Amino acid sequence: MVVQSVKLPIAKAIAKQLLNISNQSIILREAQFPQDNLFLLDVYSSTREDVQVVIDWTQEQKTAFIQMQFNAQHSYYQEHYSEAEFLIITVENIPVGRLYIERWDKEFRIIDIALLASHRQQLIGSSLLKAILMIAQEEGLAVTIHVENYNRAMNLYHRLGFRKIGNCGLYDLMEWLPSSSVNNQ
């Protein structure tokens, strides 16, 4: 397990926990903007495939729309989460996803965690989430994340002990508290 950057305390802590819970070579590195933007756009686009299927637009229109949404989200995250760690998830040195996370006074806020479709269902996301929960348990902090209420990963969040504490349109605000069990599958 390697984390490429000394200035990423959350990523370093996650890497340490992953040594105990994952056999995969999951490496977190700091996202470089704008160098990683094309990869990050691919990750974002892979999370919007369901929307792209139902919209009766040309491929060019869909691509332009996804690009616009990605740019708006990226700008929002940069503006509102200035202390966040924006991380690229790699497995066997291949970029497979993104993890954006910020430590607040009483919680870790997972701003976004997303994997390319070809790397889902391989325990990468659950290993990362378990590592984050183990750190939060040690520090006595909650973990929160907004999850689309139709997202298939919602079952994973429930199994890990997250519970819904709010709703903002299409998104449920999920919270995990330190007293929850981290070892659930």
How would you write the pLDDT of the chain (185 residues) with one tens digit per residue?
444 444 789 999 999 999 888 778 899 999 999 999 999 999 999 988 766 555 778 889 888 999 999 999 999 999 999 999 999 999 999 999 999 999 999 999 999 999 999 999 899 999 999 999 999 999 999 999 999 988 889 999 999 999 999 999 999 999 999 985 565 54
Residue 151's Cβ-count burial label (10 Å; 0-12, 13-18, 19+) is middle
Q: Give bridge partners of residue 108 from the DSSP assignment.
A: 103, 143
Q: Write down all domains in the chain, each with its CATH number in brackets.
A: 3-176 (3.40.630.30)
Please tell me the pTM assigned to this model: 0.89
Q: Is 101 left (phi over 0), alpha (psi -120 to 50) or beta?
A: beta
